[in-house]
Amino acid sequence: MLNDIRYAVRGLRKNPGFTAIAIVTLALGIGANTAIFSVVSGVLLRSLPFADASRLVQLNETVAPFGVGVVAYPDLEDWRRQSASFEAMIAYVPETRNLEDIAEPERIATIAAERGLFRMLGVKPLAGRTFRDDDAPNVVVASEGFWKRHFAGDLSLNGATIKLENETFTVIGVMPDRFQFPYRAFRTELWVPWQAAPKWEHNRNYHADGVVARLKPGISIEAARHELAVIARRLEAQYPDTNRGRGVLITPLSEAVAGPARKSLLVLLGAVGLVLLVSCANVANLLLARATVRTREVAIRSALGAGRLRLVRQFLTESVLLALGGGLLAMVMAAWGADLLLQLAAAQIPRSWEIGLDWRVFAFLLGTCIVTGIGFGLAPAVAAARTDPHSGMKEASGMSRGRGRLRDGLVVAEIALAFVLLIGAGLLLRTFVRLQTTPTGLVAENVLTLHVSGHTTASRYHELEQQITQIPGVVAAGFIQFLPLQDWNWTSHFTIDGRPPETPAGQPVAELRYVTPGYFRAMGIPLRKGRGLTDHDTSDAPPVILINEALARRFFPNEDPIGRHTDRGTIAGVVGDVRQIGLGHAPAPEIYYPVAQNVAQTDSGLSLVVSAKLPPEKLVSAVRAAIHQVEPTQVVFNIKTMKRVIADSLSDVYLYLWLIGLFAALALVLAMAGIYGVVSYTASQRTHEMGIRVALGAAAADLFRMVLRRTLVLAGAGVMLGIAGALAVTRVLAKFLFDVKPTDPATFAAVAVLLGCVAILAGLIPARRASRVDAMEALRYE
């Protein structure tokens, strides 16, 4: 074996060009795979960093017709009392709070959680302690990042305090950076103790709490699910008005965290796996060509007594060494690629801070090297070992018909794989273009958005709106509770006076938004009927609402909704539809409330929308100054243009388009190199034949066409195979597509044409070379 390795190393060193090309080709494939696998491993395979994490579950309520949602606190209390399957159930509420008493107030992501949270998760602080049951409400546990930023990382806490929205909190502990709960797109920096506010404590209609729970040892999820279902039915009987049709959903916490990303990651892993196959096919082709050149060497070895197995082993040693060389380079590429991916897509990848190159990734890398080394080396090794010593020693070169077919087959496979990836990229590109051109219902040109921390009065919002409108260049300004296109919805039932009462499941449902009067003008949302909101719609005036066209169409198809009364207020006007949740979601029925009549609903702050005559970036400081002039303590954050907001809403599609496009481009380049290699090699093998053909009357154009025809035959076969493959696998992309079918004929046709052009391009040089063959030389060659 050592001899095999020595010969292999010597052979590879003697052919630096071949070795370099093979190693780089493999490194591209293995590196891309390792980078994606490191993400898959960090997100899907690594267990959550909590004690006995497999017993942690997330609890949700299912409420018709809204589907899965968070939990109503009284229901949670009943589960706790009646269930025997859980060690603990902990409620928490994600919040953001203003950090004050510092130079520039900050908006901080916080979690208000019941005091047993850290104990139940089984995590230890980096310094200090976590919550105790007897802790006062004004203690806080900080993240390591927050602590470093604000207290220079001094781990002797010494009764350090911070001020959150006018309340002083004592920092009792610091959690290490690797700890994060709950998992969401951004990191939580502070945890504060929480208990249900009295007003919600008995309200079974108010679903606001995330719940994480720990199963007792030995209790299966199925058993707990069954028990909670029984309890839910009991509560349904006990509280029919609120709990009819209500169920409980138990999800393993690891699944709740990683589940939403699972399919996307597996699709990416599959896509990058195709790139690896293309790399392998390319290197196998190179090895086959090399094996042809080495026919004489193999024949001599056979004649000297080397058995087929021995020859196969020698060739495989060489291919595995190549793969390991590729693996070394791949490791660097993977580290770089994974870093780049996490920088670009931290928000889309859960647990992104836990992703890194660990033993699993190294094991994957090593395994991939060995498997690919054997995979791409086996066919050339067997082909070489089959060389007939007698003819092999007579012919210094020349490819057998079988080997030629194998090389053709590999190129066809490469083209087919590249086709599948290109179809994926093409479908995503079409989706992206469709989404970008989908009417949003609003005018994003020259619109600035930002978030203010809120906690102020209706009159102050009015004053802020007026103040900002005075800024030179500003056309209009207004507030809304949640900006459109945030992949966020808040739905609720409503009733229309005069309509017969319906079951909870059949009651009208609408999206709810709280706005100030200037919002619609600032966002360019047209008023279709009735009137808009005015400064007179205050808490002293009768409650009014605006509805969108979708609601009018759905619930007032043949009547004028203006003036109709609902339990949410009287309908004063109808405004245009806006794609609130995302560009891929059709506008849903929607109710706009005036903030002035519902200021209590703005506790989490409001988004300000400012439309201007000039580029919105130029207005930031003026707007910020105007806000602080009215409300010096307001924290201003999330400053973006509306165009950026729209672009961000497409970041998921863009990320997958970018990645699949990158893999497709890589596969296309490799396939192009493969086509070039095979056609060029075959043409050079046929030099003699070309000479004969010239002697028999072939013109340069005939030879050119002959070589190009062969290229197109290979490409055609690859495309046909690729179409079959793409039809089989592109449906996994359906989740990412919008208004485009996975079998979109236009995309298939465009990709086929693209591959045809690429094949022609790859075949041009060998064809041109063939057309210039010197017949005399070619005939003398034999």
- Under the rule (CB under 8 A), what is the footprint of other proteins? 401, 688-689, 691-700, 702, 775-776, 779, 782
Q: Quick one: 324 or 678, whose CB is closer to other proteins?
A: 678
How many degrees, rounded to 5, is the angle at CA 39 between CA 33 and CA 43?
140
Peptide bond into 182 cis (omega under 30): yes
How near is the Cβ of 683 to other proteins at its closest, in Å?
A: 14
Distances (CA, A) of 545 to 479, 562, 566, 590: 15, 10, 9, 10
Q: Quick one: 624 or 688, whose CB is closer to other proteins?
A: 688
How near is the Cβ of 704 to other proteins at its closest, in Å?
A: 13
How near is the Cβ of 773 to other proteins at its closest, in Å?
A: 11
How near is the Cβ of 694 to other proteins at its closest, in Å?
A: 7
How near is the Cβ of 706 to other proteins at its closest, in Å?
A: 10
Relative to beta strand 106-113, strand 190-193 is parallel
How near is the Cβ of 776 to other proteins at its closest, in Å?
A: 5
On whether the CB atoms of residues 115 and 131 are closer than 8 A, the answer is yes
How near is the Cβ of 300 to other proteins at its closest, in Å?
A: 24
How near is the Cβ of 702 to other proteins at its closest, in Å?
A: 6
> What is the number of alpha carbons within 13 Å of residue 764 lying toward its C-beta?
7
Write phi, then psi, for 299 (nearest 5 degrees): -65, -40
Q: Quick one: 614 or 695, whose CB is closer to other proteins?
A: 695
Q: Quick one: 713 or 753, whose CB is closer to other proteins?
A: 713
Q: Quick one: 38 or 687, whose CB is closer to other proteins?
A: 687
Q: Quick one: 665 or 779, whose CB is closer to other proteins?
A: 779
Candidates 259, 726, 650; CA nearest to 431 is: 650
Q: Quick one: 84 or 701, whose CB is closer to other proteins?
A: 701
On whether the CB atoms of residues 146 and 109 are closer than 8 A, the answer is no
On whether the CB atoms of residues 309 and 16 are closer than 8 A, the answer is no
Helix, strand, coil shares, percent, the chain, to 5: 55, 15, 30
Looking up tokens 């605006």, which residue turns up?
546
How near is the Cβ of 707 to other proteins at its closest, in Å?
A: 15
Relative to beta strand 544-548, strand 491-493 is unpaired
How near is the Cβ of 391 to other proteins at its closest, in Å?
A: 11
Check residue 208 and give left, alpha or beta (phi > 0: left; psi -120 to 50: alpha).
Answer: alpha
- Joined tokens for residue 764: 């041009």
On whether the CB atoms of residues 162 and 174 are closer than 8 A, the answer is no
Q: Quick one: 505 or 695, whose CB is closer to other proteins?
A: 695
Q: Quick one: 403 or 462, whose CB is closer to other proteins?
A: 403
Check residue 262 and give left, alpha or beta (phi > 0: left; psi -120 to 50: alpha).
Answer: alpha
On whether the CB atoms of residues 695 and 775 are closer than 8 A, the answer is yes
Q: Quick one: 643 or 705, whose CB is closer to other proteins?
A: 705
Q: Quick one: 24 or 779, whose CB is closer to other proteins?
A: 779
Distances (CA, A) of 690 to 191, 554, 714: 78, 74, 20
Q: Quick one: 165 or 702, whose CB is closer to other proteins?
A: 702
How near is the Cβ of 405 to other proteins at its closest, in Å?
A: 11
CA 559, 560, 565, 569: dihedral to nearest 10 degrees? Answer: 130
How near is the Cβ of 691 to other proteins at its closest, in Å?
A: 8
Strands (DSSP E) found in 606-684: 606-612, 636-641
Q: Which helix (H) or strand (E) holds 25?
A: helix 16-40
